[in-house]
Structures are given as C-alpha cells and as structure tokens.
Amino acid sequence: MILLLDIGNSRVKWGVLADEGRISGVASRSLGGHGIGGIAESCWSSFSPTRVIASNVAGSNLAGELRGWVWATWQQEVEFLVPTERAYGVTNAYRDPSRLGADRWAALLGAARRPHGHLCVVDCGTAVTLDLLSADNVHLGGLIVPGRRLMRDSLVTGTAGVRYTWGAEAVLLACDTGSAVAGGALYATIALIDRVVADLVEEFSAPVTVLLTGGDGALLLPLLAGTVEYEANLVLHGLAVTAGV
C-alpha cells in the first residue's frame, strides 16, 4: 500500500496505490490555511502505508509538518517528487528543471502514460497551468495564469467598487456585478485555453489534444473547443509512475 499525496495551494488530494497499479480511495480536503496536521490525523491515521509519495507546491513549512507527522506515525520518510531534466521517459523543458512545479511535472509523467499525439496538459486549480507535451514525450514549455478564484479575488481586493458574492452565476451578459465577475473569470479561462491550443496547432502543424485536470477541469470540459479529455487524478497517476508499480 502506497499513499499518494497531491498537495496544492488550497487543497490536498490523496489516493492509495495497490500492488496492481490501481489507485483507490481518492479524496480531498481544503487546507484552509491551517496546515496539514489536522487532515492527516483525521483522514490517514488508520492507514498503514509502505511508502508515502507526495507532490507539494504549498511550501516548505507544510512539507516539514508533513514529514514530522509521517515519521511520528509510521516511522517513514516522505518521498517528495523533485522535477529533473529527464525521468520515466519524459524530458523537462525548464532551463533549471527543479524550478518546474512538482504538480506540473507529475501531471506530465501521468499524461505520458496515455496513448497520445501532442498534448496540452491543463491543470485548472488555484492557478491555471498549460504545458505542451510532444508526441514523443518532450515537454516543450508552458504558461501560468491565475485561476478563476484568483481572478475574482484580485478584482475584489484591487478595486473599490467591485464586490463578488460566492455562488454568483457565470453568464455571458450579466446584470449584476457578482455575475459579471464570475462570467468574466470563466470566459477568460476558456478563451485563454482555446487561443493557446489554436496557436499550438498552427505552430506545430499538428492536432493538439487538451488534457484537463484540477478542480475546475470538469466545469471547463464541455465549454472548450477542439478535442478535450479529462483526468481528475492526473497528478496522482504521475506519482504512481514514480512508485514503479
């Protein structure tokens, strides 16, 4: 039993990897700005993993807290994924490979295990990241923009008159400020992905499939043009690759 942890900026997702390579028991919790100890104690203390493999983009303090809890509970070290120049048949485009986000690297490793041509791997979470993976598993670079929530928050905190009510409906032509903000953030995300993919198709003179993951992935899936696939647990699948199962 291997515990896989996808620790993002706002949420942690986990799953259990069995000997046959199947990931089960996938669940997630909001970090809520309170660290990871409470989640670990309430959700994982009954587990008995042989290994703990993690992707972490939430910072060194949280990583230290997780290390301490895992050692105290199971007397094990956490295996944090560190991006490298090349691993598991995937080549990293970054000049300093270690500076690529661990979640982006894990997503690329997971995507590479699927039959594919050119893939635009889009992770829609707190930030939206887009990474192009070639048909021969070479990472060709990518982009990072704020996710929908960050877009909304930046308007609320950076302006005097804009207010957003949680749950406001995203519509094309809004008649209240909350809906205008929600719709604007949604359309900005859709337009970005569609335009980037269109430019990639022109650049490489080849089809490009969008592979969506992240918290907003299911929402965006029916709204995008072109060929789009969805894998909710892509980062966990990438961590499973590093487990060698």
Instruction: Kindly list the catalytic residues.
Output: 103
The pair of structure tokens assigned to 202 is: 């022109």
Chain centroid to Cα 44, Å, comes to: 21
Q: Are 109 and 119 in contact (CB under 8 A)?
A: no
Closest CA to 109 of 137, 132, 148, 71: 137
Q: Which residues contact 199 (CB under 8 A, 6 or more apart)?
A: none
Region at 21 (left for phi over 0; alpha for psi -120 to 50; beta for the rest): left
Coil, strand or helix at 152: helix
Handedness of CA 105, 106, 112, 115 (dihedral sign): negative
DSSP per position, 28-42? EEE-TTS-SHHHHHH
- In whole angstroms, give the CA distance from residue 182 to residue 169: 6
Q: Are 41 and 66 in contact (CB under 8 A)?
A: no
